[in-house]
Amino acid sequence: RMICETDCCNEARRPQGPRCSQLTRAPEVQHVQCADLHVRVMDAGDQEAFIDIMVRGMGMPRELSGFPRSLFRRSGWTHYLAWIGGTAVACASLHVDGEAAWFGSAATLPEHRGLGAQTALIARRLNDAARAGVWICSMQVDEDLPDRPNPSERNMRRAGFQTAYRREHLLVPTG
């Protein structure tokens, strides 16, 4: 069954399933110091590293690697990698459209979680959005629940993002 926005907004008809949070905040320049970690814009030679981090970090099937690849040459998109030494350990993307920006495609290799890579990537994207004249940044994450914790939502909240709304995940019919 497909879920439409009307179903999501009507509590009586809302299906019980996974929910996501839409978070927003105004950009501003942030200063983050993470020892041994640096963030840079991805270049053409980094595409496979970005895809590998996204696939492994999100637990995606390798068959879905075409999704990030399709964003690499699109207008308005900037992709970042966080590095520890000579190893790319985390990725994230920023899409700027006029005065609005969207944060997405954030993942960290499991063996490098908890080292501040996403904090540094969030700060870099906030800085770049502010420099681009953006006045609102948004992003979507799975809801952080006691039985399904989500460090991504906690990272964004620590960075000052607030919930604009929650909604059900779109269910795509199969078969």
Separation CA 20–CA 23 (nearest Å): 10
Q: pLDDT digits over 54-88, tens only?
A: 999 988 888 888 877 888 888 999 999 999 999 99
Predicted model pTM: 0.81
Q: pLDDT digits over 94-135, tens only?
A: 999 999 999 999 999 999 999 999 999 999 999 999 999 999
Neighbours of 77 (CB within 10 A): 16
Q: Strand pairing partners for 95?
A: 77, 102
Rg (CA), the chain: 17
Separation CA 111–CA 132 (nearest Å): 33
Neighbours of 64 (CB within 10 A): 13
